[in-house]
Every structure is written in structure tokens, then in C-alpha cells.
Amino acid sequence: MLDRSEVGKRGYLNEGFRLFHLKDSCAQKLEHHYHEFDKLILLLSGKVTYTVEGVTYFLQPWDLLLVGHDLIHRPVIDPSEPYERIVLWLGREWLAERSDEEEPLDICFRLTKERNFHLLRSGAEGRLRYMQLMDALEEALRSRGFGAGRMADTLCQQLLIQVDRDVIGSRTAQEERDSYRVDPKIEEILRYIASHLEEPLTVDALAGRFYLSRYYLMHRFKAVTGYTVHQYINQKRLLRAGELLRAGVPVMKAAEQVGFSEYSTFLRAFQNTFHMSPREFR
């Protein structure tokens, strides 16, 4: 069973989007978690590393980190410097309603997930552009003037369009090897798990497939990702089941498609994770 003290949902978004401008002098210790919404993090100052799905990013001021929904991540904050950042939570319904069929507004999150690389690093011109967009959005959200809500909505879309263009143009830090750390073998295993959730996935089966000892796989997986193989697979299966339920797939069918052979096991795990039954969730 998944230990929610190690991997759990963090934060709830009831509106279309929400912006936070945060500055901490004391480092908060956060565990691995995920969100049901998409998230942008713009670092302004401080020393912080972020692990997203097994890849560790060493952030610099004005780096933009894109964390899509259901991606398990965790920041590690150095308390020697104040940690200042702007965080933007983006609701998936809000994104869908403002997307065109051929130009989805969340294409940046789709591409970064597909590439398994989530860090966007801009030059001086790009940093100035993002600073101006963020400042304008913050001002609109503070305003009580005529049309302030619509202005904020429009500015948020402008910001996302700029991020989309930069990600499509591959303006990332992937070529800067000192900006991130990844274990190629564990990355390969994570990709395999994501595409084979409906199949039996055990430590022994994965160790055999990737020519690793069982002991090495368990310890290396935990060291790189922060959670056990079993926890990770269970969580990904449940999150995928949630996606299927939202799409209208019947509960029993969803459980089967994500690899749960026993419905009772699926039901207990789902309720422990989402605190509601699959039918209530749908």
C-alpha cells in the first residue's frame, strides 16, 4: 500500500489559476508530492534543487520549471539564502477551455513530459520578457479596476503562450549538463513503467528486463527517485486510473487497464489515495 507520508497530493485549486509570490527565510522541508493541476515555478533568488520524476534540476535565478499534473516531484532548499519564487497553478479545465484544437495552451507541459525534461532557461532578453509578463499579471490580480479579472485571465494566457513558444523552440537547458543530473538506466525504467502499467510490474521482472540485480535496482531506484519501486508503480497506476475515470471509462475497466487484477485491491488503494470512491471521483 502506498505510504502517503512519502508521496501524496499537495494543494487544491478551485479557480482557473492562482499565482503566488513567495519568499522564505527558513527552508521548508517538503516530501515527494504531486498535483492534479499544472504548475510553473519561476525562481527569483535562492539555492534550490528540484527532482521531477527522477531528474534533479539545479536551478538558477530566472529559471522556469514546468511541473505537469500527476508528476511526482520534490524541492530541496538550501537555507543559507532566502528562497524567492513565483508559482503559478493552472487548472486543467481552464487550460482546455482556452485552447484551440490544433494549438493546446498546455502544449509546454505535454512536450516537457514527453521529453522528460522540465527546465526552461532563457537569455537576458527572455528573462526580461518573463519579468514583464509576471509583473503585469501580478498587478492585474491586485487590481480592483474595471475588467481586472478579464485582464488577468488574458495576461495569464499571454504568459502561457510565451512559455509554449519557448518550449516548442527547444529553449531549454538540456544541453547544459551542469543544470541537471539523471541516471540513464533509471530514466529508461521509468519510461518503461509509464508505458506498461497494465502489465505485471514487479521488482524481479524489472531487474531481469534491465539486467540489474534486484538489490541494486531497489536501492538505486530509491536513491534517485526518493521512493520505492512498488510505491511508484502503485501511484502511477492510480493516477492513470483517475485520468481514465475522468474520460468516462467504467470503474472496473479502468482498474483493469492500469494493471489491478483484483478490484478490491484497487478500491482500497484508490480510496486511501483520493479519499473517495472511484464513482465519487468520477
pTM (2 d.p.): 0.83
Tally the domains of the chain: 2
- Is residue 146 domain-shared with residue 38, that is, in the same domain? yes
CATH code: domain of residue 98: 2.60.120.280
Q: Tell me whether residue 265 is in a domain.
A: yes
Q: At what angle do helices 229-246 and 263-274 cross, to 10 degrees?
A: 90
Dihedral sign for Cα 253, 256, 261, 263, please. Answer: negative
- Residue at which a domain ends, from 131, 154, 178: 178
- Is residue 60 domain-shared with residue 26, that is, in the same domain? yes
What is the three-class DSSP state of 225? helix
- Residue at which a domain ends, from 147, 178, 209: 178
CATH code: domain of residue 265: 1.10.10.60
- Is residue 250 domain-shared with residue 126, that is, in the same domain? no
Q: Tell me whether residue 1 is in a domain.
A: no
User: From CA 141, how far away is CA 151, in angstroms rounded?
Assistant: 8
- Is residue 276 domain-shared with residue 161, that is, in the same domain? no
User: From CA 63, how far away is CA 254, in angstroms rounded?
Assistant: 38
Domain extent at residue 242: 183-281
End-to-end CA distance of the chain: 22
- Is residue 173 domain-shared with residue 147, that is, in the same domain? yes
Q: Tell me whether residue 257 is in a domain.
A: yes
- Is residue 48 domain-shared with residue 125, that is, in the same domain? yes
Q: What does each of the 282 residues of the chain score in pLDDT, given as a tens digit?
A: 233 334 556 777 889 999 999 988 776 777 788 898 999 999 999 999 999 998 999 999 999 999 999 998 989 898 888 999 999 999 999 999 999 989 999 999 999 999 889 999 988 888 899 999 999 999 999 999 999 999 999 999 999 999 999 999 876 667 777 889 888 899 899 999 999 999 989 999 999 999 999 999 999 998 888 779 998 999 899 989 988 998 889 999 999 999 998 888 888 888 888 888 888 887
Q: Tell me whether residue 2 is in a domain.
A: no
- Is residue 99 domain-shared with residue 21, that is, in the same domain? yes
- Is residue 236 domain-shared with residue 140, that is, in the same domain? no
- Is residue 92 domain-shared with residue 174, that is, in the same domain? yes
- Is residue 247 domain-shared with residue 127, that is, in the same domain? no
- Residue at which a domain ends, from 156, 178, 200: 178
- Is residue 51 domain-shared with residue 169, that is, in the same domain? yes
- Is residue 273 domain-shared with residue 220, that is, in the same domain? yes
Asked if 157 and 106 count as a contact pair (C-beta separation under 8 A), the reply is no
